[in-house]
Structure 1
Amino acid sequence: MNVGVIGLGSMGKRRIRLIKENFPEINVVGIDNSDERCNEVKSLFNIDVFNDSNEFFNLDNFDAVFISTPPLTHSNLIKQALNSNLNVFTEINLVSEGYTENIDLSNENELVLFLSSTQLYRKEINYIDSQVQDSDKVTNYIYHIGNYLPDWHPWESYKNFFVGNKKTNGCREILAIELPWIVNVFGNIEKLHVSKNKITDLEIDYPDSFFINIIHENGSRGALIVDLASRKAVRNLEIINEDIYLSWDGTPQGFEEFDFDVNEMKKLNLYEEISKENDYNQTIIENAYLEEIKDFFSVLSGNAECGLHSFEKDKYILDIIDRIEEISDSEVFEV
C-alpha cells in the first residue's frame, strides 16, 4: 500500500513516524509547501517528499492520504483527494464547510472518508463508557480541561498556529476533541447553559474561558470547563453516580476508581505499554493515535466497516460548538 501525508507539522510527523514504526510494509511519502519541513521529514524518516500537493494528486499509484494540515484547508484537500481516487484519513475538522459535498463524493466514488477522533480510542474513555452503559443509573460528570495557549506549541508563536485564529480557536479545538466522546458516552444534548469570558492578556479575539452546564437527553448532567489560561496543563474528570465514582487526570497513571468493598480509591492500569513523545504534555500519549491509524487501515482492507467517529456525527458536534460560541454570556439554549 502507498500512502501520502499532507502537512508535515507536528501531527503529520507523528502520523509518518507511527506508520513507519508499525507498518513497515507500507510506503509513505510526505507533502508540504514548506521546503524546510520537507527537508526535515526527508532527513528524519528517509522518505520521498513533495512540496506541491498537485504533483502528488496527479500520481496514480497511491491508495490513501492522511490530511494533517490546518483545519481551514481540510475541505478542499479532501475534495481533491476523493477526486483523485484516494481514500482519506483527516485530522479533526473545526469547521463543517464542505461536509455534505465530501460525504456525497466519497459515497459516489466508493472511497473511505475517515475522521480522526483520538479520545474515542483512549482506553480510559472506553472503560468509562463500559461502566456508564452497564449502570442503570443517571450519571453526572465534572470535567476541566485547561492549558495555557502559548504552551501548546512552545516552538512557535500561537499567532502563527491555527488556534490563534478565531475560526479555529483553541477553545473550539478542545471542544471538538472532547465533545464526541462525551456525547458518545452520555448521549445527545438537550440543553446547555454557557458562561464565558477572557481572563488573559493573550492577543486573541475570542473568549479564553468557557463554563458549560450540559443536560443530556437521558437526564445525565455535566459541568464542562475549558480554558486557555491555566499555566498548569490540567485535564481533571470525575464521573459520578450511586454505583460509580471514577477520576482521571488525563494520564495513564492517573485513572482511578472507587472500590466500594474496601471504601477507597484504586488505580486502574489499562496499558501494557505506553508510547509517548517527550516534547508533549504528559496527558498526550501515542497509543490512541496508533489505534485509529490501525482502524483506518482495517477499514481499507475490509476488516472493519467504519471508524469510531464520522462526518455525520461531527456535523452535530460542530453545530453545538457554533451555538456555544455564538450565544451571549450566561445564555441558556435548547439543542
Structure 2
Amino acid sequence: MKVLIVGLGSIANKHIVSILKLDPHAEIYALRHNFNNITKEGVTDIYSINEIPAHLDFIIVSNPSSEHFKTVQLLIDLNVPLFIEKPLFINLKGHQELLKEIARKNILTYVACNLRFHPIITYLKEEFNKRKPLEYNVYCGSYLPDWRPNSDYRENYSAKKELGGGVHFDLIHEIDYTMYLLGNPLTVQSYQSKKSPLEIDSADVAHYVLEYEQSSVFITLNYYRKTPKRAIELVWEDSVWYVDLLKNEIVSSGNEIIFSQPFNIVETYDLQMAYFLKCLENKSVTMNDIEEGIKTLKICLNE
C-alpha cells in the first residue's frame, strides 16, 4: 500500500497508526511545507507536488480545514482516492464546480467522521431502523485548553476563525452522526457565538434545532465545559434513554442497562480505516463521500 498524507498533525498520526495495523509494510509519504518540521519514523517527507510518487493507493487530506478546498482542487488531477478529514471545508464557495469535477473523474472520496464507528452509534443505527424517537437531544461540551495540554490553545487552529476554528466545525461529529441516524432534516435553525473568557476569536458555543417528520432534534456544542460530556438523550413513547458516548453506555429512565461494553476511542479510527480500505478494494461508494459531506456542512453552516 502506498499512501500520501497532506498535513502531518495529531489526527494524521492516528490514521498512520491505523494504516500500519492493517498493513505493516505500507509506504507512507507526507507532503510538507517546512523543512524544519519534525520528521516521523516510517514516513518519507516530500516538499513538492512534483515529488509525489506514482501509483498511490489513496491520499489523506488532514491539513488545517481552511486549506482543504484548495488542497482537494490541487490533488484531483492525480485521479487518486481521497480520504478527507472533517470538517470537509469551512465554507461552500466553489463547491458545486468541485463536485462536478470529482464526479467527472470518478474519484472515490470519503469524509472522515470516526464517530460513525462508535459502538453506540452502530447500536443506535440498528434501533433507528426500527423506530424513531419523539425527541433527540445531543450535548457535547469540553474545555478547549485541555484538548492539547502540551500546547497553547490560543495558537491552535481551533482558536482562530480564519483557520477553520470554531466549535461547530470541531464538533461537527454530532451533526454528522445525527444525519447518519436520522437522515436529512426538514428544517434547520442554528446559532453560533463566543460567550466564554477563552482567548479565541472563533465560536465557542453552537446550538442547532433540526426538525424531522417523526423527531425533534436539539444539538448543543461548546468549548468551555471543564467536565467533559458527550451524550444523547432519547425520548421514546414509552421510556427515556440516556446515552453516554464517553462511557459507551445506554441506560433507561428505569435504570435498565440497555447497552454497555469496554471501549477505547482508538477503535473507531481503526474500524474507519478498515472500512475505507474495503471500499477501495471493492471499488464501492463510501457511506460518507464528498457529496454527503457537503450536506453535513450545509447543516453546520445553516446554508
Identity %, equivalent residues = 19
Matched, 1:313 2:292: yes
Alpha-carbon displacement from aligned partner over 1:153-198 (angstroms, at most 9, x marks no partner): 2222233322122252231224522112112222322334445553
Cα deviation for residue 70 of structure 1 reads 0.7
Quick one: distance in 2 between partners of 1:311 and 1:84?
17
Alpha-carbon displacement from aligned partner over 1:256-277 (angstroms, at most 9, x marks no partner): 2439xxx532152356xx44xx
Work out which of the residue numbers 253, 262, 265 in structure 1 matches 2:256.
265
Quick one: distance in 2 between partners of 1:100 and 1:298?
28
Cα deviation for residue 241 of structure 1 reads 0.6
Matched, 1:237 2:232: yes
Work out which of the residue numbers 69, 82, 85 in structure 1 matches 2:79.
85
Q: TM-score, normalised by structure 1?
A: 0.80
Quick one: distance in 2 between partners of 1:98 and 1:207?
24
Alpha-carbon displacement from aligned partner over 1:240-298 (angstroms, at most 9, x marks no partner): 212453322222x4412439xxx532152356xx44xxxxxxxxx11111122112211
Cα deviation for residue 38 of structure 1 reads 4.1
Residues 7 and 197 of structure 1, relative CA distance in 2, 3 Å threshold: closer
- The answer for the alignment partner of 1:279 in structure 2 is none
- The answer for the alignment partner of 2:57 in structure 1 is 63
Work out which of the residue numbers 94, 100, 106 in structure 1 matches 2:96.
100
- The answer for the alignment partner of 1:250 in structure 2 is 245
Equivalences for residues 105-184 of structure 1 within 5 A: 105-135=101-131, 138-167=133-162, 168-184=164-180
Alpha-carbon displacement from aligned partner over 1:69-97 (angstroms, at most 9, x marks no partner): 11111122222222123221110114234
Quick one: distance in 1 between partners of 2:3 and 2:196?
42
Residue type of the alignment partner of 1:27: E
CA RMSD, aligned part only? 2.5
Unpaired segments of 5 or more residues in structure 2?
none
Q: TM-score, normalised by structure 2?
A: 0.88
Matched, 1:73 2:53: no
Unpaired segments of 5 or more residues in structure 1?
276-284, 325-335
Matched, 1:298 2:293: no
Quick one: distance in 1 between partners of 2:77 and 2:285?
20
Quick one: distance in 2 between partners of 1:220 and 1:246?
15
Residue type of the alignment partner of 1:162: Y
Residues 297 and 193 of structure 1, relative CA distance in 2, 3 Å threshold: closer
Quick one: distance in 2 between partners of 1:61 and 1:270?
41
Quick one: distance in 1 between partners of 2:169 and 2:51?
29
Report the count of equivalent residues: 300
Cα deviation for residue 61 of structure 1 reads 3.4
Matched, 1:222 2:226: no
Quick one: distance in 2 between partners of 1:99 and 1:212?
23
Residue type of the alignment partner of 2:249: F
- The answer for the alignment partner of 1:278 in structure 2 is none
- The answer for the alignment partner of 2:266 in structure 1 is 286
